[in-house]
Structure 1
């Protein structure tokens, strides 16, 4: 989808917003983005892929292989990175999103422009509800982590259960005993 069009030689940005920027921070970031985009000339030429490792700039698999063999010693032992196999993909994805503060905490939702009654943690009521707070700093989370010192292999699943317990408290009937019991048995 094109987000700009040419109008009498000028570029007009035409964003397909699902929600327009409404906070001062979002408006400022949008203005900064448009200013940065205006610094780059936009050509009417068709986009092309090219391989910077090739003298002709055309992409060929043999050029990639040649470039890689020049940079990597194939006889050297390779360091292997393995994802932990003892947890679910859903839990891993959740933790990755939590690290990026991309889970829908009260703070994140308010930052995205949602009108909320408050952003204080619904579990402890002591601090702003961020991903870090829910999963690490909340008094409830701290008690769970203290119990987990002997069971480190389940740490990522604990984060998932903390998130589910928080959601049950907010969206459920207010009783999260099922999740607390699950956390105690992992």
Structure 2
């Protein structure tokens, strides 16, 4: 959901006019991460020095170059398509990208609402943990779905899934 809203530019930021329409007036529209640029979706998730550094760290962890040079959420989401890796690894890269976007958003909110700031090293650990959790859930769901018979699913629903 966050990724889709990011592509559409519909994540609430200080510069999003939807906040003003809702009666929320914000005098300081600068990014809480760097304090230099306007807080926009792309800036928070990709362009802020904090985010860009984290994307560089994720790229290094993955062994890929240029991940930190994506300038839109759509670019970062389609990054794995450019890689010459297996379909399984592309799924993993996509999961890592989603987890990174999610953890950048969470850390930004922690700073704004709880005045807690995490280092990029801690955020990267959270990305690692989040990715492992999500990939385990996806793998279990794929296994379950591979072994379902469509007709049984439609007639019995979740009752066809073995414990």
TM-score normalized by the length of structure 2 = 0.51
Equivalent position SS for 2:31: coil
* Alignment match, 1:99: 7
Are residues 139 and 161 of structure 1, via their aligned partners in 2, closer, same or farther at CA, if it must alter by over 3 Å?
same
Q: CA deviation at 1:178?
A: 7.8
Are residues 180 and 156 of structure 1, via their aligned partners in 2, closer, same or farther at CA, if it must alter by over 3 Å?
same
Equivalent position SS for 2:2: helix
Equivalent position SS for 1:107: coil
Is the Cα contact below 8 Å between 1:120 and 1:126 reproduced in 2? yes
Are residues 164 and 124 of structure 1, via their aligned partners in 2, closer, same or farther at CA, if it must alter by over 3 Å?
same
Are residues 178 and 126 of structure 1, via their aligned partners in 2, closer, same or farther at CA, if it must alter by over 3 Å?
closer
Q: CA deviation at 1:155?
A: 1.1
Between Structure 1 and Structure 2, which shows a larger proportion of helix residues?
A: 2
**Structure (1 or 2) with the larger CA radius of gyration:** 1
Are residues 180 and 166 of structure 1, via their aligned partners in 2, closer, same or farther at CA, if it must alter by over 3 Å?
farther
- The superposition leaves residues 127-177 of structure 1 with CA deviations (integer Å, 9 ceiling, x where unpaired) of 1101100011000001000001133441111011000111000001x2222
Q: What is the aligned counterpart of 1:159 among 72, 76, 101? A: 101
TM-score normalized by the length of structure 1 = 0.45
Is the Cα contact below 8 Å between 2:58 and 2:124 reproduced in 1? no
Whether 1:175 aligns to 2:110 is no
| Higher RCO, 1 vs 2 (CA within 8 Å, ≥6 residues apart) | 2
Between Structure 1 and Structure 2, which shows a larger proportion of strand residues?
A: 1
- Gaps of at least 5 residues in structure 2 are 63-92, 129-163
Is the Cα contact below 8 Å between 1:165 and 1:179 reproduced in 2? no
* Alignment match, 1:144: 54
Query: Aligned Cα RMSD in Å?
Result: 2.1
Is the Cα contact below 8 Å between 1:98 and 1:131 reproduced in 2? yes
Query: How far apart, in 1, do the equivalents of 2:34 and 2:44 lie?
Result: 9
Query: How far apart, in 2, do the equivalents of 1:106 and 1:175 lie?
Result: 19
